[in-house]
Amino acid sequence: MKLVNPSAARRIARQTGLAVREARVVGAQHGYQHLMIALAGGQRAFAKVAMEEQAPPAEIGAAFAAEASGLRWLAEAGAVPVPEVLAVTGSALVISMIPPGHATPSAAFGFGAELARLHAAGAADFGAPWRGFIASLPLDNAPGPTPGPGPAGWPQWYAHRRLLPYLGMAVDAGALRPEDGRLVEAVMDRIDSLAGPPEPPSRIHGDCWAGNVLWSGDRGWLIDPAAHGGHRETDLAMLDLFGAPHLDRILAGYNDAVPLAAGWRARIPLHQLHPLLVHACLFGSSYREGVVFAARSALSA
């Protein structure tokens, strides 16, 4: 049930300086509340607010800052629409409300084309100049050369910044067995030959599963990014992982705007390894089979 919460409205107003007329709590996640709010001028907005009144965990403020930075950076491309950042502080993030709509084949095709243009806007390097987060986990956005042997392009960056940290975390927590870890390590050892033709850094959402695409006004909108300079196939693999609606039309629109490199479908499991490892860290061994399947599929591609 959505409950009007006058104290939350006052708190958001105090924390952000916005004139908040009404607030309704609609959920909670990762140590903060989700609220639908109405501003004095009638604008509807969505807020994430730390649950603790005093001294919210520093990670929450950093996660809010990362989301705000990502939304603004994606908006600069003028491609896929994203909510406007109305306010961000160490304990609150407020963005404009996206009116609810429905996924249609035409919207999906258009979203695919806009996603291709977003990626084509590019990035200065792999990574990002802000501290990253995905869900409640830190995300290493450090750009530039990576440790270890091999070229300093996307494959080694992906192996060291997106696979290795979560692999260690998942094995240490018991979500993956040691032999599962060795299988993922085999992918990392061969990643230069598995990653396909070199591509420059793309401007990607970074957590582009179906739940982070909102459909409104016959367009797809992106929310809740883990945005960074990455590989464009990563966003498409995420859409495939959890079943985006009208995925065939999304892919058709994408390929019509900016053709994909040969063999991209065979590389989907490689790009899905990162989110599957993240899910294993967050939710445990229920994602072990997914990690193992993706690793084996990547090695056999």
Q: Tell me the pLDDT of the chain (301 aa) as tens digits.
A: 455 567 778 888 888 889 999 988 888 887 788 999 999 888 999 999 887 554 467 788 899 999 999 999 999 999 999 999 999 998 899 999 999 999 999 999 999 999 999 999 999 999 999 999 998 899 999 986 555 444 458 999 999 999 999 999 999 999 999 999 999 999 999 999 999 999 999 999 999 999 999 999 999 999 999 999 999 999 999 999 999 999 999 999 999 999 999 999 999 999 999 999 999 999 999 999 999 999 999 999 8
Using CB atoms within 10 Å of the CB of residue 286, give its burial: 0 to 12 exposed, 13 to 18 middle, 19+ buried: exposed
3-96 and 105-300: same fold? no
**What's the confidence (pLDDT) of residue 59?**
86
**What's the confidence (pLDDT) of residue 152?**
59
**What's the confidence (pLDDT) of residue 278?**
98
Query: What are the backbone dihedrals phi and psi of residue 22, each rounded to the nearest 5 degrees, phi first?
Result: -155, 150
**What's the confidence (pLDDT) of residue 3?**
54
Whether the Cβ atoms of residue 278 and residue 140 lie closer than 8 Å to each other: no
Whether the Cβ atoms of residue 24 and residue 4 lie closer than 8 Å to each other: yes
Q: How far apart (Å, rounded) are the C-alpha atoms in residues 251 and 108?
A: 9
**What's the confidence (pLDDT) of residue 149?**
44
177: left (phi over 0), alpha (psi -120 to 50) or beta: beta
**What's the confidence (pLDDT) of residue 87?**
95
Query: What are the backbone dihedrals phi and psi of residue 141, each rounded to the nearest 5 degrees, phi first?
Result: -100, 10
The residue count for the chain: 301
Q: Which CATH superfamily, name and number, covers 105-300?
A: Aminoglycoside phosphotransferase (APH), C-terminal lobe (3.90.1200.10)
**Closest C-alpha to 16, from 40, 49, 51, 38:** 49
Task: Output the CA–CA distances (angstroms, integers) from residue 202 to 131, 147, 265, in the order listed.
Answer: 18, 22, 18
CATH class of this structure's domain 3-96 = alpha beta
**Domain residues of the chain, as ranges?**
3-96, 105-300
**What's the confidence (pLDDT) of residue 53?**
54
User: Which residues, in sequence order, are bridge partners of residue 230?
Assistant: 202
Q: Which two tokens stand for residue 222?
A: 């992106």
Q: Which residues of 97-106 are buried (b: 16+ CB within 10 A; e: fewer)?
A: bbeeeebeee
